[in-house]
């Protein structure tokens, strides 16, 4: 059995941050959250507000190159 990845997501509070984002529910509070379409399939969705208090000092944080590229592209579009 493979461990599931905790995917920390933004809550949906209006239009999606990126138009191709996917929507799911936070496993803790049930609020709608958004995440990238290429996110790992083996995941548990958590909103930032639920994930941060549950994090431990020894948790391994993973950010993919594609996640970083998406964030940079989003920031560039917001600046123009």
When pLDDT is cut at 50, 70 and 90, the band that residue 78 belongs to is confident
Please check whether residue 44 is in contact with residue 7, taking contact to mean a CB–CB distance below 8 angstroms: yes
**pTM for this entry:** 0.72
Please check whether residue 31 is in contact with residue 25, taking contact to mean a CB–CB distance below 8 angstroms: yes
Q: Where are the domains of the chain?
A: 5-79
Q: How do residues 16-73 score in pLDDT, each as one tens digit?
A: 988 999 999 999 999 999 999 999 899 999 998 998 888 777 766 666 677 677 777 7
When pLDDT is cut at 50, 70 and 90, the band that residue 77 belongs to is confident
For residue 47, what pLDDT is reported?
92
When pLDDT is cut at 50, 70 and 90, the band that residue 76 belongs to is confident
């Amino acid at each position: 059995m493979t461990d599931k990845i905790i995917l920390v997501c933004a809550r949906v509070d209006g239009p999606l941050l990126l138009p191709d984002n996917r929507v799911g529910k936070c496993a803790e509070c049930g609020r709608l959250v958004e995440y990238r379409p290429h996110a790992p399939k083996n995941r548990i969705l958590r909103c930032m507000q639920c994930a941060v208090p549950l994090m431990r000092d020894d948790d391994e944080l993973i950010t993919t190159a594609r996640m970083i590229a998406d964030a940079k592209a989003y920031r560039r579009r917001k600046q123009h």
